[in-house]
Chain A
Amino acid sequence: MRTREPLGGHAPLRGSASTWSADPVFRALALACAASVLVVLAAMIVRTTVEAWPVFADQGLISFLTGDLWDPGQSRSEVTGTYGALPFLYGTLKSAAIGLMLALPLAIAVALFINEVAPRRLRGLLAYGVETLAMVPSVVYALVGLYFLRLEVWRPIGQAVADSPLGVLPMFSGPVTNSSYWAAGNVLAIMILPIMTAIIRETFAQTPREERMAAYAMGATPWEVMRRVILPRGVPGIVGGTMLGLGRALGETIAVAFLIGASQRMSSSIFFAGDSVTSLIYNTFQDARPEGVWALLAIGVTLFVITMIVNVIARLIIHQVGRTTGDASL
């Protein structure tokens, strides 16, 4: 769009010959910044994969993923150790699964409570309370988990379950250790609750008013409206929110590293110590020789691919519902 110089004026917004180039320049600058997101993401993927390649090439993808021995070599130039990622993938998936099992029912109940039951004045405050959990630094979760929650809350609950008749199942059998899949799963549940609640709340709130009113007109109780009208409407949000929570849970590092226990035994019980991908990277990076670092990059790339798939599926589902706003979704 061309503009003319106003007659005799020097208005602040006048167009002049010296600024005609500003428009395309500004546009190009903004475009470059937008493209930088894609460039950064691509650069991260390419560099890590290139750096990790010797390990994938030497071990073979299948034996890397299914091997259960992680024995790093000390070489600076070649791959001499054995790298099997299974115990770590197992622990990552197991602790994330525990986190989801705990967080999902809670997130649905909290979303229903905030949207449907709580007095209108309290809704904002309650939503903030849950969202604030997303802003607590993960190192603080590690600290409080390590010195308080696992000792006073999680282990006693685990012990009670292991002592109950449920304890005969391999999944719930003792011994119950302080740091375990269970402790890591619990901290993950707290950490992913905000994002799951935010997304589920959003979809619940989108239930058409007419449908609720029609249900009430036919004599449905508030509980029946929640169960028969709001919950079915919220299914995409529940699935998408769960996937997004899973993505976060798989990648969480500090809190899991200090609560899972660093044992590669792959116990069938959830109350025994295990290990995770993030925990392995965090715990062994500083002592790793170049070869060991490549292996950590290889397992990091594996984790990235898994979270990427989970996140893309989650975003595709959530995009159909509409974008969620709020701090927790960031």
Chain B
Amino acid sequence: MAGVLGAAMVLAVAPLVVILWQVILNGGAAMSWEFLSSVESSPRDPGGYLHGIVGTLYMTGIAATLSIPIGILAATYLVEYGRSGRFANTVRFFTDVMTGVPSIFVGLAIYALLVVSGGAGLGFGTFVGAAALATIMLPIVVRSSEEMLNLVPADLRTASAGLGARRWQTTVKVVLPAAAPGLITGSMLAIARGAGETAPLVLTALGARQVVTAFQGTPQADIGLLMTDGFSQPFEPGIERAWAGGLTLIIVTLLLTITARFIAARRKV
């Protein structure tokens, strides 16, 4: 029986091995300085993904700036104030539900809310792309931060209160620093998820063929968007660059994930 279960285990890990092997093999062959430093004008021309890399970093950066502080403060409310009250439980439940909202629906919703004239009418661009990513990252940050804040011993809070600290001082100067490594872990996982997300950006960032520095108003490029554009057309340079793009995304997300786990493993609350 152990043999059957062992075979299942092998079967479960096999896709990871195949994916890493394929991406490293093909992506490694296509990876070059040109890929990282130049801009392709179309999948059939030479060039690189500089615009996509800039766009992905830009949007993920804004999304992190939006979602991480809000997410950590929301988790602070749940743990320090709301506890198991009705409102806190409602927020908790819908945060869980929100982690399961399809990312393409988030794209549609941000499109309807921010892009079209019936909504905010901002048009496509960096900020609306970032808003979509932030919406996907927010529940992840809230959930993981709440878990981490719950691990902070009550003794620390009591000791702080005993020294005459106000509630907010206890939270900001004692609880949050004590949970900091865990909060960083959760935030890094959220960033990894955001950086690898492509579907909602089709409806919000739209894609671009040059480096875009505008905060809003001009469609923005993204590694994932360039990849889908490249590997869905029959041009060798575009397909090769898509593999290199895949390698880039895998390296970024796995580095973030592994670093996050490393920090979590060394955490001593």
Interface residues of A (CB under 8 A from B): 1, 3-4, 6, 11-15, 19, 22-23, 25-27, 29-31, 33-38, 40-41, 43-45, 47-48, 50-51, 105-106, 109-110, 112-114, 116-118, 126, 128-130, 132-133, 135-144, 146-149, 190, 193, 197, 222-223, 226, 244, 247-248, 250-254, 258, 278, 281-282, 285-286, 293, 296-297, 300-301, 303-304, 307-308, 310-312, 314-315, 319, 325, 327, 330
Contact A30–B80 (Cβ < 8 Å): yes
- Is B154's beta carbon under 8 Å from chain A? no
Q: If the complex has contacts A23-B167, A29-B73, A140-B246, are A37 and B94 also in contact, measured as CB distance less than 8 A?
A: yes
- Across the interface, B224 reaches (CB within 8 A) one of A48, A139, A281, A319, namely A139
Contact B19–A22 (Cβ < 8 Å): no
- Is B254's beta carbon under 8 Å from chain A? yes
- Give the most central of A47, A190, A250: most B CB within 10 Å: A47
- Is B96's beta carbon under 8 Å from chain A? yes
The proximity string for B residues 233-262 relative to A, scoring 1 for CB distances below 8 Å and 0 otherwise, is 000000100110010011001100100010
A residues near B239, Cβ cutoff 8 Å: 147
> What does DSSP make chain A's interface, helix, strand, loop or mixed?
helix
Interface residues of B (CB under 8 A from A): 1-2, 4-6, 8-9, 11-13, 15-16, 18-19, 22-23, 26, 69-71, 73-74, 76-78, 80-82, 87-88, 90-91, 93-106, 108-110, 112-113, 116, 118-119, 135, 138-140, 142-144, 147, 160-161, 163-169, 171-173, 189-190, 192-193, 195-199, 202-203, 206, 224, 227-228, 231-232, 239, 242-243, 246, 249-250, 253-254, 257, 261
Contact A139–B227 (Cβ < 8 Å): yes
A residues near B138, Cβ cutoff 8 Å: 36-37, 40
Q: If the complex has contacts A110-B9, A135-B193, A139-B224, are A13 and B160 also in contact, measured as CB distance less than 8 A?
A: yes
Contact A113–B77 (Cβ < 8 Å): no
- Across the interface, B135 reaches (CB within 8 A) one of A19, A40, A308, A330, namely A40
A residues near B90, Cβ cutoff 8 Å: 38
Contact B163–A251 (Cβ < 8 Å): no
Contact B1–A3 (Cβ < 8 Å): no
A residues near B199, Cβ cutoff 8 Å: 138, 253-254, 278, 282
Q: If the complex has contacts A149-B18, A330-B144, are A13 and B169 also in contact, measured as CB distance less than 8 A?
A: yes
Q: If the complex has contacts A113-B9, A138-B198, A251-B105, are A13 and B15 also in contact, measured as CB distance less than 8 A?
A: no
Instruction: Tell me how far the C-beta of B175 lies from the nearest C-beta in chain A, rounded to whole angstroms.
Output: 12
Contact B19–A141 (Cβ < 8 Å): yes
Contact A33–B108 (Cβ < 8 Å): no
B residues near A35, Cβ cutoff 8 Å: 91
Instruction: Tell me how far the C-beta of B187 lies from the nearest C-beta in chain A, rounded to whole angstroms.
Output: 12
| Complex-state Cα separation, A179 to B261, whole angstroms | 36
Q: If the complex has contacts A34-B77, A140-B23, A282-B104, are A3 and B9 also in contact, measured as CB distance less than 8 A?
A: no
A residues near B192, Cβ cutoff 8 Å: 135
Contact A44–B250 (Cβ < 8 Å): no
B residues near A40, Cβ cutoff 8 Å: 98, 135, 138
Contact A144–B19 (Cβ < 8 Å): yes
Instruction: Tell me how far the C-beta of B120 lies from the nearest C-beta in chain A, rounded to whole angstroms.
Output: 10
Q: If the complex has contacts A133-B15, A138-B199, are A143 and B227 also in contact, measured as CB distance less than 8 A?
A: yes
| Complex-state Cα separation, A281 to B73, whole angstroms | 34
Contact A112–B5 (Cβ < 8 Å): yes
A residues near B108, Cβ cutoff 8 Å: 48, 281, 296-297, 300
Contact A300–B196 (Cβ < 8 Å): no
In the complex, which residue of chain B has the Cβ closest to the Cβ of A193? Answer: B12
Q: Which 9 A-B pairs have the closest CB atoms?
A: A251-B102, A137-B196, A109-B8, A44-B109, A30-B77, A26-B168, A253-B199, A33-B73, A311-B100
